[in-house]
């Protein structure tokens, strides 16, 4: 089949592949194309009825079994590689192949970005001890709530589900919230990102640090809305020093996979992102919303700015 135009489709069971094929085949046929359909099943095929002559003879060891009727012909071969039976599709103009998701060829990821909820999961990095702040940042007060409560609520408004990432202490209101332990083999914030990726490896993730008190739902919604196929990193790049903002950003699953396999022991997310060609956008840079609270004075300043 090397010289036969073939279009492959793969996806989870129930994702709508067959429904799409039922609409695609008539469109191709209407253009005068003879369409073949090849399905790869990782499990044992069940294409013949138990007790029928063809089933009994195939089970008895027949290498090839065929049955004909006035309307169709059925062929069953005792081979596992379609290359052994190229004649099956020899008169087709195009073949639709279903499955082969682990095949060694390039793939285009088709994802329903428009319409529906289609919200990414959110990961809130809560950190741990903070020597400079003197108090775990997750417990710091900000307005009527703690920082972790504020940030968790923000993510919940734009994400499908929110996970706490890290080992820091939590207020009582978040004691039963979903939480993921740091991934072994990594250190620092990178361990939190890899934990999220291992939990849902096919998902894009929206990550937020707990120590960005100026963050609001408007900014996170903007990140979500500029999400598009092929964009692996959606986040700000400081126009003055060129640094990326790694923890108020959206990561594609492909980027997280590359980070997991090619971090080379680096602990700085910024350096890993730069090594993988993450670009970032100066248009997303917002000094007030992306200001970290590392010392008590930072927190006071940001609280005053929030009350203006």
- Residue 46 confidence (pLDDT) above 70: no
- Residue 15 confidence (pLDDT) above 90: no
Sign of CA dihedral 99, 42, 255, 120: positive
pLDDT at position 127 is 80
Q: How many whole angstroms separate alpha carbon 255 and alpha carbon 252?
A: 5
- Contact criterion met (CB below 8 Å) for 236 and 245: yes
Q: How many whole angstroms separate alpha carbon 7 and alpha carbon 293?
A: 51
- Residue 85 confidence (pLDDT) above 60: no
Beta-strand pair 179-180/162-165: parallel
- The mean pLDDT of 228-232, rounded to a whole number, is 76
Task: Report the predicted TM-score, pTM, of the whole model to 2 decimal places.
Answer: 0.64
- Residue 44 confidence (pLDDT) above 70: no
Q: How many whole angstroms separate alpha carbon 89 and alpha carbon 78?
A: 17
Segments in 133-199 forming alpha helices (H): 147-158, 189-199
Q: Which domains does the chain have, with CATH numbers?
A: 6-98 (3.40.50.300), 122-306 (3.90.550.10)
pLDDT at position 66 is 72
Q: How many whole angstroms separate alpha carbon 8 and alpha carbon 112?
A: 18
- The mean pLDDT of 18-44, rounded to a whole number, is 81
pLDDT at position 115 is 44
Please give the radius of gyration of the chain, using alpha carbons only, rounded to the nearest integer. Answer: 27
**H/E element holding 24?**
helix 17-30
- Contact criterion met (CB below 8 Å) for 182 and 127: no
pLDDT at position 52 is 72
């Amino acid at each position: 089949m090397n010289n036969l135009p073939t279009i492959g489709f793969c996806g989870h069971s129930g994702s709508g592949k067959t429904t799409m094929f039922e609409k695609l085949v008539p469109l191709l046929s209407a253009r005068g194309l003879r369409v073949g359909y090849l399905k790869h099943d990782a499990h044992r095929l069940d294409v013949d009825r138990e007790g029928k002559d063809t089933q009994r003879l195939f089970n008895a060891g027949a290498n090839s079994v065929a049955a004909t009727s006035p309307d169709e012909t059925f062929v069953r071969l005792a081979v596992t590689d379609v290359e052994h039976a190229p004649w099956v599709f020899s008169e087709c103009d195009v073949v639709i192949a279903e499955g082969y998701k682990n095949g060694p060829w390039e793939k285009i990821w088709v994802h329903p970005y428009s319409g529906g909820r289609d919200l990414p999961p959110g990961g809130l990095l809560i950190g741990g001890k903070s020597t400079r702040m003197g108090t775990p940042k997750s417990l710091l007060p900000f307005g009527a709530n703690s920082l972790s409560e504020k940030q968790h609520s923000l993510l919940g408004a734009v994400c499908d589900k929110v996970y706490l990432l890290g080992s820091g202490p939590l207020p009582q209101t978040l004691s039963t919230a979903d939480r993921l332990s740091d991934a072994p083999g990594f250190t620092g914030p990178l361990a939190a990102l890899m934990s999220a990726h291992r939990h849902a490896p096919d998902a894009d993730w929206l990550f937020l640090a707990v120590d960005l008190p100026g963050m609001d739902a408007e900014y996170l919604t903007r990140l979500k809305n500029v999400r598009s196929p092929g964009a692996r990193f959606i986040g700000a790049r400081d126009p003055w020093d060129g640094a990326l903002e790694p923890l108020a950003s959206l990561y594609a699953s492909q980027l997280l996979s590359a980070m997991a396999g090619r971090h080379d022991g680096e602990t700085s997310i910024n350096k890993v992102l730069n090594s993988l060609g993450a670009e970032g956008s100066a248009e997303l840079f917002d000094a007030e919303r992306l200001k970290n609270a590392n010392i008590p004075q930072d927190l006071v300043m940001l609280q005053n700015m929030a009350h203006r």
